[in-house]
Amino acid sequence: MASINKLMKQAMRAQQQAQEVEEAMANRTVEASSGGGAVKVVATCKGKLTSIKIDREAVDPEDIESLEDMVLLAVNNAVDEGQKIQTEEMSKVTSGFNLPGLG
């Protein structure tokens, strides 16, 4: 019975740590760029964009498609990096547990 109580305490502690990681990821940001820095994007590790900066020289009215591609690439890179960090941080908390709601 003591081992069950110990396991329950560990699970509760892991769940609390997981919630703390979730909150931290909402505030932690990553930056990605494309076009040699012409487009810069900042996003949280939860996938929310916080800013997009576009260099004036990247704006060519005759070639909007290239700018769109640069923005899309930078956004996707920022979101991917944030998700990678979130997964790494969460795996530190949940390693060794195979319990629903912790992964």
Q: Is residue 100 part of a domain?
A: no
Q: How confident is the model at residue 101 (pLDDT cuts 50, 70, 90)?
A: low
Structural domain including 54 reads 2-94
Average pLDDT along the chain: 87
What is the per-residue pLDDT for 96?
61
Residue-level pLDDT at 98: 55
Q: Is residue 25 part of a domain?
A: yes
**Percent of the chain surpassing pLDDT 90:** 55
pLDDT digits (tens, 9 = 90+) for 12-32: 888 888 888 888 888 999 999
**Cβ contact 102:62 at 8 Å:** no
In a domain, 103, yes or no: no
- Is 99 inside a domain boundary? no
User: Does 101 fall in a domain?
Assistant: no
Q: What is the average per-residue pLDDT within 60-86?
A: 95
> Angle between the 64-94 and 2-27 helix axes, to the nearest 10 degrees?
160
Which CATH number does the domain housing residue 83 bear?
3.30.1310.10
Q: Is residue 27 part of a domain?
A: yes
Q: Between these two residues, 97 and 63, which has the higher pLDDT value?
A: 63
How many folded domains does the chain comprise?
1
Residues 6+ away with beta carbon under 8 Å from 46: 22, 25, 26, 82, 86
